[in-house]
Structure 1
Amino acid sequence: MKKLSWANKFVFSINIVVAVLLILGYISPYIPVKSFPRISIYSLITPILIIINILFMLYWGLKFKRQFLLSFLILLLGYPKVSSLYKFSGKEEVVGNGALKVMTYNVRVFDVYKWIGGDTEVFDQIKSLIKEENPSILCFQEFYFTKEDKFEEFPYRYVNYKTKETGQAIYSKFPIVNKGSLDFPNSGNNAIFADIVRDNDTVRIYNVHLQSFHIDPQSEELSQENSTRLASRMGAVFSKQQVQTDIFVKHFSESPYKTITCGDLNNNQYSAIYDQIRGDNIDTFEEQGTGTGKTFYFKYFPLRIDFIFTDPSIEVISHKNRYEKLSDHYPVIAQLQL
């Protein structure tokens, strides 16, 4: 520090603070959500902290200052988390290999309330996108009741409504031999499952939608003035997500079949919720994704909160994200080899 100018000493002081915050981001998934719900907020800002530490590392590196080691070592310590922020290689599509194609999509009730607007009906565009992708298994979150009979290309379906109009849906081109709902208490969110038979294999498909924050990133006032209220509200949501996750994990642990878990976790890959829902399974983006894999429209930084997880014995052939703005979420598609 002695050889640094006063300006660089100030920069390095900020660097230290951001490095310590990133360490907190690393350890936050291991701190019980029920005891300290607000600590989970660190999981949401971990991507920003990673990017800032990368910038600090480059700043000191270009100046040939050994201070670059601080952010470098912190980033190296959390390399698996850092590498999940951006993938440089992967397969988006493989044709003709007999794989099971799975798609998950939070459709935000097909824009029936005209949040997106436009001249073309959003539902028709979503249906065209699904027809183009032609998945074998299709999971919807925030499904709208008037659309239940509109996907005639899927002969089998299970739809469960948590409100009079909205719920979860699983559509399949293969027979559904068993199905059920996990019935999250005191919530419009839920998880459902369907046991699907393909040839001689039975696979359990979970469709999970954890508690929402109900924050519109385009209009919510994220000012210092309401930060305490917002943090309290987010802490309450994290606590509710933990209750829902516990229900899911217990049910999942009793599955007699290989599993594929789809859905909107309303939490990112740096959270305790993600670790628990994923368990020992494979994140298809981690295996074959490219880029940031963002799944939620947020103009400030990429959020990946929608996932497909597979049993370790199921090979991930490809992973793809579509970025048509037909909802506040983007669809996630993966090809799997049973």
Structure 2
Amino acid sequence: MALRIRVRQFITYFFRSLLWSINLLLVIYTCLAYWLLYSLQIEHWSASMVMITLPIAWVLNFIVVCLWLVARPWRSWLSGIVLMIGLIMFGSRTFVWHTPVELASKGKSIKIFSYNVQSFDMNDSWAMYSSSPRIRRTENFVLRYDAPIKCFQEFFNSTSIPDYDIIKRFRQAGYRYSVFLHPEMTQTSDGNVGAVIFSIYPIIKSGREPFGAQNGILWADIKIDNDTIRVINVHLQSMGIRVGKVLKQKGIKAVQRETRGVLGALHTGFTDRKEQELIVEQYIHESPFPVIVTGDHNDTPYSVVYERMRRLLPNSFEDAGRGFGFTYNRLPGFIRIDHQFYSPKFTVLNFETLNYIGYSDHYPIVGTYLLK
């Protein structure tokens, strides 16, 4: 009987010691992520890999706190303090709850709509030529949504089918001014135009910088009454997250192969997006007008790209959003990679993630601003 009690005590002690060791390693890892994100002393892709896992580290710390509350309550303080520090330092970029600001009677609001439409699903030729109801619903939504300035990523246009000649339909709807990342594709029968800016207000100057078939930076100086603003529409390098494909693989080797592909894409994405973000910063610094940056940044709020942009311009979600603001409509789902940033000369009145619009692998985002 005494031997059984001693064995039980030894096993309990062993697992408590193991949990405590894991707890210490987890706390060190979480604090490292805090330091990397807060200081940006290291902008290497490996540092970005640590930063992006910060929400996972928070979840693990929370689980550890719960386990210690059952086994040894006094040991829960360590991960608890780490979680509190994370809430103080990075809580606003994770979860917020703001009430929309009412527009003053003398003010004029500016609404910026942004949406990665995933080519309207028109890469599927059968669906396109069979006049897919899903495609028609997506097109009708983006045409009818009430916003004078609309930015798109992965925009597709077809001049061969009147219903899918969306550029023509936008012009008929009053959006007479536009800028295209690949203007040469607007005249083809079926073309991936990439990023697009449509405006009912005059565009007095514009520029583009493609990074490939889809990715790139597009900017337009838009005259609104007596004021002029610069809208920058970005579509940075893809994250390469293919969690669904990994889960669908059968066999260990297939899972390992797909996982290596994901890690390789993440490595390439971290490196490319950092270089692309430096170009965005250049367009911001060179602008003689107040700036709004919108689009698919393909990076979470715990990244080098987001932190650099955040230090340059305030983030609209953090200042006027509600909830978690997740914008990715695929696995893992709980990430926010579409953002809007604005010059301090604006007041952000409201920011929404339209997570009830599930036509694409992204949700639309909408910011409403008042130029001071």
Deviations 1:30-85 (A, max 9, x none): 2544xx32331223222221222233334435667222221222223332323422
Which residue is 1:150 aligned to? 169
1:45 counterpart = 2:53: yes
Q: What TM-score, normalized by structure 1, do the two folds share?
A: 0.87
Say whether the 8 Å CA contact 2:181–2:210 is kept in structure 1.
no
SS in 2 for 1:218: helix
Which residue is 1:236 aligned to? 268
Deviation of residue 12 (structure 1)? 2.8
- Listed as ranges, the matches of 1:154-165 within 5 Å are 154-161=175-182, 165=192
1:28 counterpart = 2:36: yes
Rounded to whole Å, the distance in 2 between the matches of 1:153 and 1:51 is 48
SS in 1 for 2:16: helix
Which residue is 1:124 aligned to? 136
Which residue is 1:209 aligned to? 235
Which residue is 2:201 aligned to? 174
1:73 counterpart = 2:90: no
SS in 2 for 1:150: helix
Deviation of residue 113 (structure 1)? 2.8
Say whether the 8 Å CA contact 2:240–2:269 is kept in structure 1.
no
1:86 counterpart = 2:95: yes
Matched residue type, 1:75: L
Deviations 1:242-271 (A, max 9, x none): 221122212221111100000111111110
Say whether the 8 Å CA contact 2:238–2:269 is kept in structure 1.
yes
Greater Cα offset, 232-241 or 118-127: 118-127
Rounded to whole Å, the distance in 2 between the matches of 1:250 and 1:95 is 32
Say whether the 8 Å CA contact 2:180–2:193 is kept in structure 1.
no
Say whether the 8 Å CA contact 1:280–1:312 is kept in structure 2.
no
Greater Cα offset, 46-55 or 159-168: 159-168
Deviations 1:96-124 (A, max 9, x none): 96421111110011111349x79953333
- Listed as ranges, the matches of 1:1-338 within 5 Å are 5-29=13-37, 30-33=40-43, 36-61=44-69, 65-78=73-86, 79-87=88-96, 89-91=97-99, 98-114=108-124, 121-131=133-143, 133-146=145-158, 147-151=166-170, 152-161=173-182, 165-184=192-211, 188-220=214-246, 223-224=255-256, 227-323=259-355, 324-338=357-371
Change (3 A) 1:38 1:228: farther
Deviation of residue 191 (structure 1)? 0.3
Which residue is 2:5 aligned to? none
Aligned length in residues: 331
SS in 2 for 1:270: coil
SS in 1 for 2:300: coil
Higher helix share: 2
Greater RCO between the two (CA within 8 Å, min separation 6)? 1
Which residue is 2:4 aligned to? none
Larger of the two Rg values belongs to structure: 2
SS in 2 for 1:51: helix
Say whether the 8 Å CA contact 1:103–1:331 is kept in structure 2.
yes
C-alpha RMSD of matched pairs (Å): 2.9
Uncovered stretches (5+) of structure 1, i.e. residues with no partner? none
Say whether the 8 Å CA contact 2:320–2:351 is kept in structure 1.
yes
Greater Cα offset, 143-152 or 300-309: 143-152
Say whether the 8 Å CA contact 1:297–1:303 is kept in structure 2.
no
